[in-house]
Structure 1
């Protein structure tokens, strides 16, 4: 299966009264929906991925978007849990034009499945308004709020502080001079990447798009200027450790320790030290580093270091925000760092209440029942 296969996905036209868009196939209609997000490349790519997956799945069933019913959504959600046959649907990251390209890297987690359905819900709503579809099956979900609200659960995909500290200590050890300049460069890049991700909590696409001149200084304080979701610009305080990491990384590149405001060169570089890196390359680099850390920390029990095998790039953002919350950063500042539109989204990173609940419930013991003092009931 190739990405181009989506172009032939179910071209039968459903019966409809009148379409308000110039489309002849489901693929045409979805492309027009995606055009609404072209000003935000990261959002566009995420939405295209979910729409493409659904269209390819429907193609295998010889169905169109107009055939999607309430029970179809349940079947699709089950499919996302474990896309089968795996050889057809799952595989390592590849360019979309490559024969080895697959729609999934692996089965989706519960949070990723919810996010996929949230995106598709919006797509169906738009297609109904456009007159391309007659109904939105998502409206029939009685438990819609629970299933579609991706803000409802506490964040769990992060590294606990003790594991992060061991992992960072391993990352922080430079290679032997005998290893050569190439090994030193790869180590310096990996160290900077993970330090940057931990200290400033960027999204993967924001790391790819970051430039040296995005670090600016005002009144003696450094800020990181970032354009995030929805093409919204924000500024995040840069802690001293981040400036030290940046200075080390720039020295590795043969640059002065502090960036200039007009420096538009990539922040993270390819092995040639000049070009930037792409999303897929960065994703693989982070996953490979997590797995290498799992192997290197073999003095820890497997259960303790197991999260390193499962971790994806977004775990870095979750880890950064969770640890900031645990360090006592106020919710309003945490939300600004995360660049969340809603405080309840950020509140998922607050684990203190759960920890206190657990502490108090620990006093509830099986052998603590002699309330009368004389052994009687």
Structure 2
């Protein structure tokens, strides 16, 4: 934690029933500021005001986690500047954008992954990419909008941002963070070829790894959905198998399960010493820890998947694979698997309507970003435009 910030930390008095994040946010010693009269939340300082905002997301673990991270970074930075939320203006916002790109001094702000209360923990692993900075600003814009409505601050500095709609639009026209089909084919072959276990534990870990990536590729779950999945989420109805999932926004959905997924599920259950496909009443974790009983958290799942991607990148680099593919594997995150699954379904000819249902998108515009057909046609058409034309003969007029 930054030294300047660490000095100001004492336990927060208010907590959330879910997530127990109150001890993760510091209470900051910042100058007293005059609040506007129409305060609509029960808060005595910036930390408690942010806590009230975060409570609105306590039923969505992943959203709460990312929102808490960005709010915490902002509070740390403001405290290091001896400012509070209500002091933020357009010029300070400009400085904060630059800070997100390059947090300085690095020894105070940047460090390796450590447990939250470790002495070497820092708010950043490094400077944020343009997409990550944009996402951070989107979250903080929402925070300030809420704080204005709650009467905690009198203004939203993001309103003054020029081209705000364009700059804070985090959706590209097409999905780019996915593994191209040739790369996925290599990865899946590599993953299976490396499975030569020497011990029973290694055999179990490799079976789990295979199941994780097959589940992610065939059903396109979000990582929290994978971690929270249960055996009896797989249900048979009139001879057809479905995966029942409560996804983003607590929306219940039912996804068709392809035959390949059923085969992988049977193999995984065999590794767990379970027979056949799940029964209707089997509310046990789908993903298991090494004891084959307990579930695993989304953080554990995230690290496991990232670790496999890193190993694959090293293997492909050793084979003198395409640098772009090696780079993709190094940058890939678990969410890339969801993008990969949906993109490859689209390329396989799954109709937009059913693609949207499987992806659980509320808008077809979101799903259409996975369709690369027009890009391919456009690229082919552009090849008509050439520098190398047929040479003229001496008799040809200029």
Partner of 2:64: 44
Matching of residue 125 in structure 1 with residue 109 in structure 2:
no
Partner of 2:387: 366
Matching of residue 8 in structure 1 with residue 50 in structure 2:
no
* Contact 2:175–2:339 (8 Å) recurs in 1: yes
2:372 to 341, 344, 351: 351
**Shift in Å at residue 187 of structure 1?**
0.7
Matching of residue 167 in structure 1 with residue 187 in structure 2:
yes
* Contact 2:30–2:83 (8 Å) recurs in 1: no
1:261 to 280, 284, 293: 280
Cα 1:174–1:60, aligned 2, differ >3 Å: closer, same or farther? same
Q: In structure 2, what is the Cα distance between the partners aligned to 1:129 and 1:149? A: 23
Matching of residue 53 in structure 1 with residue 52 in structure 2:
no
* Contact 1:185–1:252 (8 Å) recurs in 2: yes
TM-score, scaled relative to structure 1: 0.93
Partner of 1:238: 257
* Contact 1:214–1:224 (8 Å) recurs in 2: yes
* Contact 2:114–2:121 (8 Å) recurs in 1: yes
**Shift in Å at residue 302 of structure 1?**
4.8
**Shift in Å at residue 260 of structure 1?**
1.5
* Contact 2:233–2:243 (8 Å) recurs in 1: yes
Q: How many residues are aligned here?
A: 376
Q: In structure 2, what is the Cα distance between the partners aligned to 1:371 and 1:201? A: 56
* Contact 1:12–1:25 (8 Å) recurs in 2: no
Where in structure 1 are there 5+ consecutive unaligned residues?
none
Partner of 1:151: 171
SS in 2 for 1:341: coil
**Shift in Å at residue 95 of structure 1?**
2.9
2:328 to 276, 292, 307: 307
Moved more, 71-80 or 322-331: 71-80
Partner of 1:35: 55
Moved more, 84-93 or 41-50: 84-93
RMSD: 2.2
1:112 to 121, 132, 144: 132
**Shift in Å at residue 206 of structure 1?**
1.1
**Shift in Å at residue 144 of structure 1?**
1.1
**Shift in Å at residue 283 of structure 1?**
1.4
Write out aligned runs for 1:67-106 (5 A). Answer: 67-106=87-126
**Shift in Å at residue 28 of structure 1?**
0.4
* Contact 1:118–1:148 (8 Å) recurs in 2: yes
SS in 2 for 1:236: strand
Write out aligned runs for 1:174-213 (5 A). Answer: 175-176=195-196, 179-213=198-232
Partner of 1:322: 343
**Shift in Å at residue 220 of structure 1?**
1.3
**Shift in Å at residue 160 of structure 1?**
0.9
Cα 1:324–1:14, aligned 2, differ >3 Å: closer, same or farther? farther
Q: In structure 2, what is the Cα distance between the partners aligned to 1:373 and 1:219? A: 77
Cα 1:49–1:370, aligned 2, differ >3 Å: closer, same or farther? same
Partner of 2:12: none
Partner of 2:237: 218
SS in 2 for 1:206: helix
TM-score, scaled relative to structure 2: 0.88
* Contact 1:10–1:26 (8 Å) recurs in 2: no
Q: In structure 2, what is the Cα distance between the partners aligned to 1:259 and 1:366? A: 62
**Shift in Å at residue 258 of structure 1?**
0.3
Moved more, 87-96 or 56-65: 87-96
